[in-house]
Amino acid sequence: MKKIVLSVVAIATITAASMANETVSSAEATKAENKSGFFDRFHAKGDLRLRQEVIEKEGKADVNRERYRFRYSVNFDVTDNITLETAVSSGKYNPTSGNVSFKSDENIQEYFIDELKIDIVDIKYSFDNSWVRVGKQAHHIYRPIKTQLVWDNDIRLEGINYGYKNDSTIIRVGANRVHREKDYKDGDDINIFLAQYVHTQKLDDTKLNLGAAYYLYDGIKGNTVQSSNGFKNNSNANGLYTEDYGIAEAFAEVQVKDLVMGMPAKAAVTLAYNTLVSDENFGYDVSAELAMTKKWNAAVTYRDIQKDAVYGAHNDSDFSGGGTDSKGYYVKTKYAFAKNVDVAGWWNWSKLGDAELDYHRVQLDVILKF
């Protein structure tokens, strides 16, 4: 009953917010004439995702659950070049997911207040084609077709990062620290040093992105886990990691504005290789995406990721149950049902580990944006 009440309240709230947004949009022309006002420096947005999920894993009982994810951000332009970025989300103590499962024996306040985490607090300084971010910040590493082979969508970097972008080049450089969640404070600090270069070549209605990157995790071998995510299939013994992670990434992505009958498409190949491990250290995925209409798109990915190819606590938390040591494919689709409402589906079929256990996962979503 509480799940139903919460869902109805959420939908009613977002509907009201959407109506308010319509009213605000009618005054956009007036606002455009006066951008110097204090409140014009605030930029807010958010979304609420309601999900029905089914998981079938060989040798385990099936899982059928309802979940939600809530995100809200407010950015403030301190000056024309400096922005304070803040955000909160659900999924406390989980760095790669904002999902929270509904439970019949919890108070409604526990679904939100007790599950919220401060997701982003950082300062962004922009100049020319560059920016510098300091603090806990949103994902900014370029990923072809948003692949999560190395980085999950919800990962937040904590440190200092630099970015540059023009018509032909993207550069990312940074030094960050792995955040340790509550109850997982034991162990030494782990730092992440990253560098990425992407070259863009435009040919008529086609764009080619070629990229290379290196992500060095300093201090993993012999260390403990950082959160409830656990080892996520990375090599471990006696509660400690047994390998280091220095991940070389390379990718090629093709974007076509008009593949057939005006439909744009993308295709990409992404490779990941752990240079600090001699075995079980390679992963890749091949993806394609097609926009059937302006409102409807679909994509398919095949992925094969060996045990120590990437740091399992930071890559895709959905594919094969999260982490590494699996291979398979997934299909996803999204439809813009209304201005502020999307509906989506995601289907995953995988084989897990050397035993190649069958794994199947289905996610059906309603996403409310405000």
Q: What is the pLDDT of residues 277-317, one digit of tens each?
A: 999 999 999 999 999 898 999 999 999 999 999 999 999 99
- What pLDDT score does 8 carry? 42
In a domain? residue 20: no
For the chain, how many structural domains are there in total?
A: 1
Place of tokens 């809200």: 72
In a domain? residue 14: no
Identify the CATH number of the domain in which residue 233 sits: 2.40.160.100
Cα–Cα distance measured from residue 73 to residue 183, given in angstroms and rounded to the nearest whole number: 27
Q: What is the extent of the structural domain holding 60?
A: 42-369
- The mean pLDDT value for 34-56 works out to 88
Q: What are the helix and strand counts (H, E) for the chain?
A: 3, 19
Are 72 and 83 contacting, i.e. CB atoms less than 8 angstroms apart? no
What's the half-sphere exposure (Cβ side, CA atoms, 13 Å) at 268? 31
Q: Which H helix or E strand runs over 170?
A: strand 169-177
Residue-averaged pLDDT of the chain: 89
In a domain? residue 250: yes
The share of the chain scoring above pLDDT 70, in percent, equals 88
**Pick the residue with more confidence: 290 or 15?**
290
- The mean pLDDT value for 64-85 works out to 94
In a domain? residue 199: yes
Task: Quick: pLDDT tens for 101-130.
Answer: 987 766 666 667 778 888 899 999 999 999
Which 8-state DSSP code applies to residue 130?
E
DSSP codes joined into one string, 61-98: --EEEEEEEEEEEEEEESSSSEEEEEEEES-TT-TT--
Task: Quick: pLDDT tens for 184-201.
Answer: 878 899 999 999 999 999
pTM for the model: 0.88
For residue 304, list its beta bridge partners.
284, 327
| Residue 20: count of CB within 10 angstroms of its CB | 11
**Pick the residue with more confidence: 210 or 6?**
210
- What pLDDT score does 36 carry? 56
For residue 263, list its beta bridge partners.
260
Residue 71's nearest CA partner among 140, 24, 139, 16 is 139
Q: Is the pLDDT of residue 142 over 60?
A: yes
| Residue 143: count of CB within 10 angstroms of its CB | 20
In a domain? residue 37: no
Task: Quick: pLDDT tens for 313-350.
Answer: 999 999 999 999 999 999 999 999 999 999 999 999 99
Residue 214 amino acid letter = Y
In a domain? residue 340: yes
Q: Which H helix or E strand runs over 6?
A: helix 2-25
- What pLDDT score does 300 carry? 98
**Pick the residue with more confidence: 329 or 229?**
329
In a domain? residue 33: no
